[in-house]
Structure 1
Amino acid sequence: MADERASDQSVESSLATRLARRFPAGSLAVRNLSRQRLRAGLAMLGIVIGVFAVITLGMLGTALQTAALAELGGLGNQVIISPDDGEENLGPREVQAIRQAAAGGGTVIPLNSGGASVSGPNGQSFAQLYGTTQPAALFGVDNVPDTLRQGVAVGDELAAGLGARVGSAVEIEGNRYRVLAIIDSEGTFSPIRPGSAVVLPPDEFVADDYAQVVVQADSADDARAIADGVRERLNTRQERVSVLSLTSVLSRITEFFALLNGFLLAVAGISLVVAGVSIFNVMLMTVSERRGEIGVLRAVGVHRDEVLRTLLVESTLLGVVGGALGAILGTAVVVGVALGTRLPLSAVLVPTNGLVVLGAFGFGMLIALGGGLYPAYRAAWEPPVESLRG
């Protein structure tokens, strides 16, 4: 056993000797830092805190933006066309022009609308009525039939207040209708509020024309093109329709999150700059205390480049170890927040957050290297005679 231990120690010593010969600057840097563990640890702690702050704030900001845009993504794909002032409804010609503008880019849903009192098994409430042949496409839900015949679809909030469920009956202006579906409004974003709506077949309305037309575009770019096409076809000579493209709302939200992320990263970056000042102070004090040692090295023939390289490796090691610890802790905290809240983990694990981690780690290393640059340069270029004087 003793022989095996001696053999292992001999191998480790031989390996350490080889590494020291191949990377003398790194070996000296590790030895020098180990001699001043408390001071080096405090300097490294500044890098850990700075990188941790940048990663947590940056990743959380990106995750919130990703989650919000995923929830609101359908909002940016809607175009709502309504009669302009002086017009009461949209006729067949206007609807046909809208269909031409949306050809190949979205689904056109003409709507009748009105308001009425609705009675259910457990109560009565005022509701917004919509008449359409495409209720599922209108609200983007799967639990509503494509067409409604001799029945209605009721929003979940209204159904809860009325005590209605699928199969029960509701009464609207003296007419009884069977509830065919309950509209699930959770995660649905639209100016047409599905939670408090009742959707009927369009032939239940007296008017043949439509109160508005909703276009569910295939993408935000299609929504912009459809809105421009409708304006070009219907508003060239006079303002006949009002076109509301919700893409602009989504763009404003995106701009807000981008501004918020920039602000958070700037605040976190300040802590990294403070960490750089701490490393600068540590390296400056280290050089001051080791002037005599550096002077002896220079006097026995060690080149100034070797001295410079050793001191820069010391500061870089502080940045690498501190940055790695900060990156691991920051990522773990953000993932923990996602697992413990309603923030989707998929919004955290996006490529942009990978760039945030790499950027914070690289910035931490750069700050550490910059903090040690001047002290190292000063020590390397100081004449050996001056260093030996102390």
Structure 2
Amino acid sequence: MSISDSLGKVGMTADGVTASVYLARRNLARNGLRSTLAILGIIIGVFAIATLGILGSVIQLTAADALGGLGDQIIVSPNADAGIERLTDRDVTTITRAAGNDATVIPVVTGGALVERGESRTFAALYAVERPGDLFVAGAGELPERHRRGAIVGSSVAAELDVDVGRTITIEGREYRVIAILAESDGFNLLQPDGAVLIPRTAFADESYTQVIVRAESGSEAGAAADAIRESVNAREERVSVLELSRIVERIDQFFGLLNAFLIAIGAVSLIVAGVSILNVMLMSVSERRGEIGVLRAVGIQREDVLRTILVEAGLLGFVGGVIGAVISGLVALGLYLAVPEVTLPVVVNLRTAGYLLFAVLFGVVISLASGLYPAWRAANERPVEALRLK
């Protein structure tokens, strides 16, 4: 297409941006292979940023799901450094009073023993929890409101011993009728129920408690309860150590946030490399069209029009490559959901994922525009006489 035809086309379109878009599309199409390679670089960069960002987000949210509601729980344990090995009923009463009426206080006795049924046997953790429903869910049978008799068996122990509700198991020479089997744990739990057996507190030789779990309504209330427990129980001596799980959850979340930023930074490097490719494309394009640009300037096209046209070319490269890269990244994220059972749909499809895709596209356009600034400035400031002399 000749320069006069181009000017005629421009004259038939609206002024300003529309004319610049038309010329930019024509110029990019005229150098199809070069433009395609530049777009490919943007696609790779945007895909890297979006995919690494989404991957980091998926890991972070999956970890948060696995930790569940641990942020609103605290663990009160005997202070071994002060020679305290177990917690008494009086300690539990003090902890309950300090935690407040809205908190759930769950004293636990722990141990371990060989569990047998016929010729089958396995080692299991032993727990005594007065109200099992505060911590566990039954997969078969029903959990008693207060555990006074019988055994509640974890899913892994039940599978190894091939035991069902109503059957009996033997623990340290005592027989227990299985009254319930716990549901398989699908997340992180302070007490690992799958490989455990719950028996009444009276079955333990030492009935004093090894730890107390306190569940509050929120993380802030858990923090307040932890402070109150320290002040009450440790008023005279450091009898207990209090672990606030919300702080651990916060540290884990901070770690994954840092990891996510690192991954995005790695993707940004590839996009900056793509920007250098666009700079090269724009420079070569401007150099090849010096004569044409000189003619346009000679017939009255202003510097702003030339500047806008070159920037629109760079912006189009970034936008097209960004959109394609984001679409591919979105498909990869959905593939991750389909391929990995642990990854749930809400972890993949959410506002954060959409934010990473949008950020990657915008970053790709910004890098493209930045790469086109110098070639655009060079073209806009080309003297018409010099350009026509080299035509």
**Residue in 2 that maps onto 1:61:** 56
Assess if the C-alpha contact under 8 Å between 2:139 and 2:180 holds in 1. no
Higher mean C-alpha deviation, range 353-362 or range 145-154: 145-154
Cross-structure match for 1:257: 256
Residue 327 of structure 1 aligns with which residue?
326
1:300 maps onto 2:299 in alignment: yes
Q: Does 1:128 align with 2:164?
A: no
Residues 327, 357 of structure 1: 8 Å contact kept: yes
User: Could you say what the CA RMSD is over the residues aligned between the two structures, in angstroms?
Assistant: 2.2
The within-5 A match list for 1:336-355 is 336-342=335-341, 343-355=343-355
* C-alpha separation in 2, matches of 1:17 and 1:328: 36
Equivalent AA in structure 2 for residue 167 of structure 1: G
Q: Does 1:51 align with 2:46?
A: yes
Shift in alpha-carbon separation, 1:339–1:225, aligned structure 2, 3 A: same
User: Could you report, residue by residue, the CA deviation over 1:197-249 in whole angstroms, capped at 9, with x for unpaired residues?
Assistant: 21122233454532321113333333322222211211233211122222232
Match in the other structure for 1:113: 110
Question: Matched residues in 2 for 1:93 and 1:51: separation?
Answer: 61
Q: Distance in 1 between matches of 2:310 and 2:93?
A: 76
8 Å contact 2:314–2:371 — kept in the other structure? yes
- Which residue of structure 2 aligns with residue 73 of structure 1? 68
SS in structure 2 at match of 1:111: strand
Distance in 2 (CA, whole Å) between partners of 1:239 and 1:189 is 29
Which AA in structure 2 matches 1:378?
R
How does the TM-score come out when normalised to structure 1?
0.90
Q: 1:188 to 1:324 in 2, by over 3 A?
A: closer
Distance in 2, Cα, partners of 1:139 & 1:220: 21
Match of residue 94, structure 2, among 93, 97, 119: 97
8 Å Cα contact 1:105-1:226 kept in structure 2: no
Aligned residue number for residue 7 of structure 1: none
Compute the displacement of 1:337 (Å).
Answer: 1.8
Q: State the partner residue of 1:179.
A: 178
Does residue 246 (structure 1) correspond to residue 245 (structure 2)? The answer is: yes
Structure 2 counterpart of 1:278: 277
SS at match of 2:135: helix
Unaligned 5+ segments in structure 2 are: 1-8
The corresponding residue for 1:382 is: 382
**Distance in 1 (alpha carbons) for counterparts of 2:291 and 2:187:** 72
**Contact 2:116/2:122 (CA < 8 Å) preserved in 1?**
yes
Q: What amino acid sits opposite 2:35 in the alignment?
A: A
**Identity across the alignment (%):** 48
Q: Using the TM superposition, give the Cα deviation of residue 62 of structure 1 relative to its aligned residue in structure 2, in angstroms.
A: 0.5
CA–CA separation in structure 1 for the residues paired with 2:203 and 2:256 = 44
Counterpart amino acid of 2:36?
G
Residue in structure 1 matching 2:32, options 37, 45, 64 = 37
Supply the distance in 1 between the matched residues of 2:327 and 2:375 (Cα, whole angstroms): 29
How many residues in Structure 1 have an aligned counterpart in Structure 2? Answer: 376
SS state at 1:139 partner: coil
- Distance in 1 (alpha carbons) for counterparts of 2:262 and 2:70: 26
Between 112-121 and 270-279, the greater mean CA deviation after superposition:
112-121
For 1:182-221, list aligned pairs within 5 A. 182-207=181-206, 209-221=208-220
Counterparts of 1:119 and 1:369 in 2: how far apart (Å)?
Answer: 72
Where does structure 1 differ by over 6 angstroms across 4 or more consecutive aligned residues? none
Q: Shift in Å at residue 27 of structure 1?
A: 1.2
**Per the alignment, in what secondary structure is the counterpart of residue 147 of structure 1?**
coil
DSSP-derived class of the 1:82 partner: strand
* CA offsets 1:11-70 (integer angstroms, 9 cap, x no match): xxxx99854567211111111111111111111111111111111111121112111101
Aligned mates of 2:332, 2:177 — CA distance in 1? 51
How far off its partner does 1:373 sit?
A: 0.8
Q: For 1:122 and 1:108, how far apart are their aligned partners in 2?
A: 39
Which structure 1 segments of 5+ residues have no match?
1-14
Quick check: 2:138–2:181 contact (8 Å CA) kept in 1? no
